[in-house]
Amino acid sequence: MYAYFTAVADNRIVRMRYQNGRLGPPDTVFTGIPKGGNHNGGRIAFGPDGMLYATAGEAGNPPLAQDRGSLGGKILRMTPNGRPARGNPFDNSVVWSYGHRNPQGIAWDSEGRLWA
C-alpha cells in the first residue's frame, strides 16, 4: 500500500507492505513535497505505464507552481521506488507537469491520457 501524508518537515509518499495480516512499517519512497496550511493536498495513483503519479498543491505559495525547481504545484511521475521515470520532460526530475494551483484528482482515459 502507498500513502501520501504530511510529516513534520514536508509532504511525502510511503509504502507499507502487508505482512502476516498487518501493515508493516512505513518505507519512505519520496520526500520534499512542500506542505502548507492551504493547497497542501495530493493524490497518488499508478498509471497505465506502471509509474507512480502524485499531485502536489503549491502550499499556498503561488510562485512555486511555476518554479521547476520546486515540487509544489506539480504532477509528479516516478518509478514505484521514487526515482524519476524515464521519459519525463525534464532530465533527472520527477516533474511531469507544472503550473498547477492545487491538483486534486488524476485519472486516465481509455487512450492512456492523463486527466487532472
**Distance of CA 12 to CAs 34, 48, 107, 112, Å?**
9, 22, 20, 26
- Count the Cβ atoms, other than its own, within 10 Å of residue 103: 21
What does the chain come to in residues? 116
Task: Retrieve residue 4's grid coordinates.
Answer: 501520501
Active-site residue (options: 13, 29, 33, 39): 39
Asked if 100 is an active-site residue, the reply is no
> Which residues are known catalytic residues?
39
